[in-house]
Amino acid sequence: MATTYEFPSDLLAGQEELHQVRAELSALLRRLPWSVEPVDGFSDDNGWRKVERPASPGWTADEQAEVEKLRRREHELAVFISTHRFWAEVAAEQRMQARSRLKHVHEEQAPGAPETRNDQSGPTS
């Protein structure tokens, strides 16, 4: 018999915010220079592949603060989710599956998303 998880609203909200924070952090890191500190560019072809980096102006104090703020919030949310009281209600052998469902519940609820089941019958695409 398939198990359906009734996640509490605060746990769902925390997971959704975690997805948003991680997306925002990822986008910010892609926009920023490759080095936090100013560094000259370099080229090294002595290894098994050539490595090149342009000069990096480094990150501004505001950019560093924004990255730190997002990383701190990401950590807070991860701790909130992983220590939520809900997990005590789930049998130990089912927690991994339940955690996986929680991570992907936003995909199942997205408008226009194909109908998926919220059970333990196997992985979904």
> Tell me: the pLDDT tens digits for 18-68?
999 999 999 999 999 999 999 999 999 888 899 999 999 999 999 999 999
Q: Which residues pair with 43 in a beta bridge?
A: 52
**Which pLDDT belongs to residue 118?**
42
* Burial of 84 per CB tally in 10 Å (0-12, 13-18, 19+): middle
With 90 as the cut, is the pLDDT of residue 111 above it? no
DSSP-based three-state secondary structure for 43? strand
Q: What percent of the chain has pLDDT over 90?
A: 76
